[in-house]
Amino acid sequence: MYRLVDEPPSLDEYLDLRRSSGLSPKTPEQGAPALTGSWYFCHVRTGGDAAADPERADAGRAVAMGRIISDGGWYFHIADIATRPEFQRQGLGRTVMNRLLDEIRAKAPADPYVTLIADPPGRRLYESLGFTDVAPSLGMRIRLPD
């Protein structure tokens, strides 16, 4: 019924997955480099083919995703973890997270530094996978230009 694909979704699907899951919307100009410039990107699709099965609104559709931004040496930052609301709580987010972590385990040199910014909806999932708070460090951001 679901297929884990070791590639990014299309640009339209990426932008739609972010928007529909409640993450901040991005423009095509922002999204396109995320698809080509990530160290690793995967997504989950429903079975079927939308072109061959136009009656089924959910046929062959990207419904969950996640990616890793990295230098490939030691720093691995997980981003864009999202599942469409109507497909949540079926284990798809966990499947994507496990795939990302497996990729790091398989390809990274020893002792990788793996981070993410945990929005509230994902915290329990991340904690259950072994992620911990970075205290006494603190995640920070700056809005540019300023």
Ligand X SMILES: CC(C)(COP(=O)(O)OP(=O)(O)OC[C@H]1O[C@@H](n2cnc3c(N)ncnc32)[C@H](O)[C@@H]1OP(=O)(O)O)[C@@H](O)C(=O)NCCC(=O)NCCS
Residues in contact with ligand X by CB under 6 A are 21-23, 64, 81-83, 88-94, 118-119, 121-122, 124-125
CB of 124 to ligand X, least distance (A): 3
Residue 115 structure tokens = 């981070």
Q: Considering beta carbons, is residue 52 or 135 the nearer one to ligand X?
A: 135
Q: Considering beta carbons, is residue 10 or 128 the nearer one to ligand X?
A: 128
Q: Considering beta carbons, is residue 75 or 87 the nearer one to ligand X?
A: 87
d(CA 23, CA 20): 8
d(CA 47, CA 4): 10
CB of 97 to ligand X, least distance (A): 7
CB of 82 to ligand X, least distance (A): 4
Q: Which residue has the tokens 């993450």?
A: 23
Q: Considering beta carbons, is residue 79 or 108 the nearer one to ligand X?
A: 79
Q: Which residue has the tokens 């109507």?
A: 86
CB of 88 to ligand X, least distance (A): 3
Q: Mark 69-96 as b/e (b = at least 16 C-beta within 10 Å).
A: bbeeeeebbbbbbbbbeebeeeebbebb
Please give the residue whose beta carbon sits closest to ligand X in the complex: 93
CB of 84 to ligand X, least distance (A): 8
Q: Considering beta carbons, is residue 24 or 137 the nearer one to ligand X?
A: 24
Pure H helices in the chain: 11-21, 28-37, 92-107, 123-129
